[in-house]
């Protein structure tokens, strides 16, 4: 197993994926290290990467004219940042900025889209995981709307 | 012939006084914590020199001529000279309490209610999970744990607030976060760019704790909705319902289990609680129409 394949296997999003699938994914994956305070993407930009965060933290924020940035969510180790490979091109809905040095696996979504077309079984595995992640995020965001800490 | 009910004074009350009669105390320090939240430090004015309580207990604070409110004790249990309460000004009595300043008089009944079972939790990992003003009733737990640190395994504090401006006891949280024997996770619902911490709800941070679920206990205090969803996450993490403790808030008036205002199913929250293990209270916890 290559070191990249081992890194892919170690990420919670890909846990349990077969060695064949991991080897296929390796072709679309790059390890990235992003310094603290760097804007990774801006709202409206094309989302060309799906990030599997290995360490560090990323803030998702919305820019409000005359009122500045407002962070609405932060992601950390083990989480997934991005919308996937369906219905390309996708565009970022938020601004994304690292709060600390962040290491991630960047998966090229165009490459992923081709890969899952050619290997539907891998596509199904990844889609199941992505749906689970998105469902969990929707639940968390709903809780944020109900004034969780007010009496 | 009318029968007379004998009231048994709760620990901490002087035996010759009725538990319904407030003891005179005096405000010795006032501190504004947040826009609507303040802390009163009280000392007895009836000649007694000590006041002992266990983390999790509460007092009925009597604003002279206005009424009583149940307020958790939020000071250090090792400090038997002073009683500390952090209060949010939300109603008539608490708004009047907010006007008190050093030297003013106040009535106090207590300590009342059941404490967190800290002695039983020795040897366990602890998750102390709270949001908003819920940190106040858990602060005595944190003081206790820090002064008995070798008795516990990993200790994780998870705290959530609406915004960075709403973080209670901010300086203390920062100090605790600087310790090597404690992990402190803070999150807010939304924040400006100057905030470099977490944004999201506390339930999102439960999975980041490094406790052994088989040997861990969780202590929760905060709004009901926060505790309800946090309990679900803790159960998912593998904690047993008997190892999850919640501190409940109800309409407590007598504080002695006599008036029935705080009844929750078979329990009186003021007397049987406010601290309950989830295996006892789960069936009634956040139940609608109860």
Domains for chain B: give ranges and CATH numbers: 23-112 (2.40.30.10), 119-281 (3.40.50.80)
Q: Is the pLDDT of residue A69 over 50?
A: yes
DSSP B183: E
Strands (E), chain B: 23-34, 37-44, 58-63, 67-72, 83-88, 105-112, 125-131, 155-161, 183-188, 198-199, 216-221, 244-247, 263-264, 267-268, 275-277
Rounded Cα distance, B190 and B196, in Å: 11
Tell me the percentage of chain B whose pLDDT exceeds 70: 93
Tell me the percentage of chain A whose pLDDT exceeds 90: 75
Predicted pLDDT of residue A48: 94
| Partners of residue B88 in chain A, C-beta under 8 Å | 151
Q: Can you count the helices (H) and strands (E) in chain B? A: 7, 15
Interface test with A, best of B200, B205, B227 (most A CBs within 10 A): B200
Predicted pLDDT of residue B160: 96
Contact of A65 with chain B, judged by CB distance below 8 Å, is answered with no
Residue identified by tokens 């402190």 is B184
Distance to chain B for A106, nearest Cα, Å: 22
Q: Are A62 and A95 in contact (CB under 8 A)?
A: yes
| CB–CB contacts below 8 A, A to B | 73
Predicted pLDDT of residue B263: 87
Predicted pLDDT of residue B167: 96
Residues B274-285: pLDDT tens digits?
A: 999 999 988 887
Predicted pLDDT of residue B104: 95
Distance to chain A for B50, nearest Cα, Å: 32
Predicted pLDDT of residue B7: 46
* Average pLDDT estimate for A98-107: 96
Question: Is residue B4 very low, low, confident or very high in pLDDT (cuts 50, 70, 90)?
Answer: very low
Predicted pLDDT of residue B14: 54
| Partners of residue A59 in chain B, C-beta under 8 Å | 199
Q: Is the pLDDT of residue B159 over 60?
A: yes
Q: Which strand (E) or helix (H) includes residue B142?
A: helix B135-147
Q: Are B226 and B237 in contact (CB under 8 A)?
A: no
Contacts made by residues B193-198, CB under 8 angstroms, sequence distance 24+: B193/A61, B193/A68, B193/A69, B193/A71, B194/B164, B195/A71, B195/B164, B196/A99, B196/A100, B197/A74, B197/B164, B198/A57, B198/A74, B198/A76
Rounded Cα distance, A92 and A81, in Å: 10
Residues B115-139: pLDDT tens digits?
A: 999 999 999 999 999 999 999 999 9
Interface test with A, best of B204, B209, B226 (most A CBs within 10 A): B204
- Which stretch, A85-94, B192-201, B258-267, has highest mean pLDDT? B192-201
Which listed CATH number (3.40.50.150, 3.40.50.720, 2.60.120.10, 3.40.190.10) goes with A3-144? 2.60.120.10
**What is the rounded (10 degree) CA torsion for B270, B276, B280, B286?**
80
Vertex B141: Cα angle to B130 and B53 (nearest 5): 125
Rounded Cα distance, A132 and A15, in Å: 13
Rounded Cα distance, B96 and A119, in Å: 69
Helix axes B170-177, B135-147, angle to 10 degrees: 40
Using DSSP's 3-state secondary structure scheme, residue B54 falls into coil
Q: Are A80 and A106 in contact (CB under 8 A)?
A: no
User: B189–A151: do the CB atoms touch at under 8 Å?
Assistant: no
Q: Are B249 and B227 in contact (CB under 8 A)?
A: no
| Residue B271: φ, ψ to 5° | -105, -45
Q: Are B134 and B169 in contact (CB under 8 A)?
A: no
Q: Is the pLDDT of residue B16 over 60?
A: no
The mean of the pLDDT values for chain A is 92
Q: Is the pLDDT of residue B10 over 60?
A: no
Residue B144 makes CB contacts below 8 A (sequence gap 6+) with: B55, B77, B78, B118
Q: Are B222 and A149 in contact (CB under 8 A)?
A: yes
Distance to chain B for A95, nearest Cα, Å: 11
Contact of B249 with chain A, judged by CB distance below 8 Å, is answered with yes
Q: Which residue has the higher pLDDT, A61 or B47?
A: A61
Contact of A67 with chain B, judged by CB distance below 8 Å, is answered with no
Rounded Cα distance, A78 and A57, in Å: 10
Rounded Cα distance, B7 and B203, in Å: 42
Rounded Cα distance, A74 and B174, in Å: 20
Tell me the percentage of chain A whose pLDDT exceeds 70: 99
User: B189–A148: do the CB atoms touch at under 8 Å?
Assistant: yes
Predicted pLDDT of residue B133: 94
Contact of B210 with chain A, judged by CB distance below 8 Å, is answered with no
A131 exposed, middle or buried (CB, 10 Å; 0-12, 13-18, 19+)?
exposed
Give the largest CA-CA distance in chain A.
53
Rounded Cα distance, A82 and B259, in Å: 55
Question: Is residue B3 very low, low, confident or very high in pLDDT (cuts 50, 70, 90)?
Answer: very low
Q: Is the pLDDT of residue B5 over 60?
A: no
- Give me the residue from B192, B195, B200 closest to A144, CB to CB: B200
Contact of A61 with chain B, judged by CB distance below 8 Å, is answered with yes
Q: Is the pLDDT of residue A41 over 50?
A: yes
Q: Is the pLDDT of residue B8 over 70?
A: no
Residue A135 makes CB contacts below 8 A (sequence gap 6+) with: none
Tell me the percentage of chain B whose pLDDT exceeds 90: 72
Q: Which of A139, A130, A135, A147 is nearest to A14 (CA)?
A: A130
């Amino acid at each position: 197993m290559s070191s990249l394949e081992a890194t892919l296997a170690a990420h919670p999003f890909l846990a349990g994926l077969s060695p064949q699938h991991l080897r296929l994914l390796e072709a679309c994956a790059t390890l990235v290290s992003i310094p603290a305070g760097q804007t990774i993407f801006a709202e409206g930009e094309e989302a060309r990467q799906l990030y599997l965060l290995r360490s560090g933290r990323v803030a998702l924020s919305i820019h409000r004219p005359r009122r500045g940035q407002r962070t609405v969510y932060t992601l950390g180790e083990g989480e997934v940042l991005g919308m996937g490979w369906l219905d390309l091109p996708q565009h970022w809905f938020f601004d994304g900025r690292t709060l600390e040095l962040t290491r991630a696996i960047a998966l090229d979504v165009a490459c992923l889209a081709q890969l899952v077309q050619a290997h539907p079984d891998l596509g199904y595995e990844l889609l199941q995981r992505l749906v689970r992640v998105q469902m969990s995020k929707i639940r968390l965001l709903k809780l944020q709307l109900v004034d969780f800490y007010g009496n | 012939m009318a029968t007379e009910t004998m009231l048994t004074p709760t620990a901490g009350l002087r035996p010759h006084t009725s538990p319904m009669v407030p003891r005179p105390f005096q405000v010795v320090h006032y501190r504004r914590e947040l826009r609507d939240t303040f802390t009163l430090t009280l000392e007895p004015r009836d000649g007694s020199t000590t006041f002992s309580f266990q983390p999790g207990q509460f007092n009925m604070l009597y604003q002279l001529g206005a009424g009583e409110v149940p307020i958790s004790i939020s000071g250090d249990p090792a400090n038997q000279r002073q009683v500390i309460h952090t209060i949010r000004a939300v109603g008539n009595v608490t708004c009047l309490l907010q006007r008190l300043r050093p030297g003013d008089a106040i009535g106090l009944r207590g300590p009342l209610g059941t404490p967190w079972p800290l002695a039983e939790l020795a040897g366990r990992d602890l998750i102390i999970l709270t949001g908003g003003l819920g940190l106040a009733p858990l602060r005595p737990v944190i003081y206790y744990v820090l002064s008995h640190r070798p008795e516990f395994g990993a200790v994780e504090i998870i705290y959530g607030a609406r915004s960075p401006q709403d973080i209670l006891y901010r300086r203390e949280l920062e100090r605790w976060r600087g310790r090597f024997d404690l992990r402190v996770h803070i999150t807010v619902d939304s924040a400006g760019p100057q905030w470099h911490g977490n944004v999201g709800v506390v339930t999102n941070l439960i999975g980041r704790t490094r406790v052994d679920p088989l040997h861990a206990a969780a202590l929760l205090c905060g709004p009901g909705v926060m505790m309800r969803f946090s309990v679900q996450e803790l159960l998912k993490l593998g904690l047993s319902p008997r190892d999850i403790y919640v501190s409940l808030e109800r309409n407590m008036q007598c504080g002695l289990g006599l008036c029935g205002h705080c009844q929750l199913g078979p329990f009186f929250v003021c007397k049987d609680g406010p601290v309950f293990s989830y295996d006892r209270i789960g069936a009634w916890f956040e139940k609608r129409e109860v």
